[in-house]
Amino acid sequence: CEEKLACVLCKRMMYRIAIEIMKKEGAHGIVTGASLGQVASQTSQNLMAEAYRLNYPIYHPLIGLDKKEIIRIAEWIGTYTPSIGPGVCCTAVPDHPATRARINEVLRAEEKVGIEELLQQTLDRTRVVKP
C-alpha cells in the first residue's frame, strides 16, 4: 500500500477491531480522542475516509478542542499519564502522511493487503481488558 495512507489504514483497522469488541460488549458506538488539526493526519477528509462504510457510530467529543483543553480532560478522567508512557507513540508514521485521503485509494490499498483476513487474525489474538 502507499506509505502515505498508513495512518488512515491503521485507524480503519482499529475501528474494525473496536466494532467487533463493541458488538460483543453490547456497546452502542466508538468514542475517539480525535481533534481536528492536532496532528497532520487528523483532517476532516481523513476522518471521513477512516469511517467510510463502517456503519457504526463513531463519536469525536474532542473534535474542536485545543491541546491544553484535551490534556486537562485527559488528566481529569485518568488517561493522561498512560497516554504519555513508553511505547504509546506510533513508530510507523510515514514522513509525509496523507492529509486528504481519497476513499477509492484507501479501499484499493485495503484490498491489496487482504484486510478481512488481517482483521480475523488480529481478532483471534485480541482480548478485552476490563478495569
Location of C-alpha cell 480525535: 34
Q: What is the pLDDT of residue 82?
A: 85
| Vertex 48: Cα angle to 80 and 84 (nearest 5) | 15
Q: Which helix (H) or strand (E) holds 35?
A: none
C-alpha 107/C-alpha 95 separation (Å) is 22
Decide if pLDDT at 40 tops 80: no
Q: What is the pLDDT of residue 90?
A: 79
Quote the pTM value. Answer: 0.86
C-alpha 106/C-alpha 41 separation (Å) is 14
C-alpha 13/C-alpha 29 separation (Å) is 16
- Helix or strand or coil: residue 59? strand
Please state the CATH superfamily assignment of the domain spanning residues 3-123 in this structure. Answer: HUPs (3.40.50.620)
What is the average per-residue pLDDT within 71-75? Answer: 95
Residue type, 66: D
Q: Which residue has the higher pLDDT, 72 or 85?
A: 72
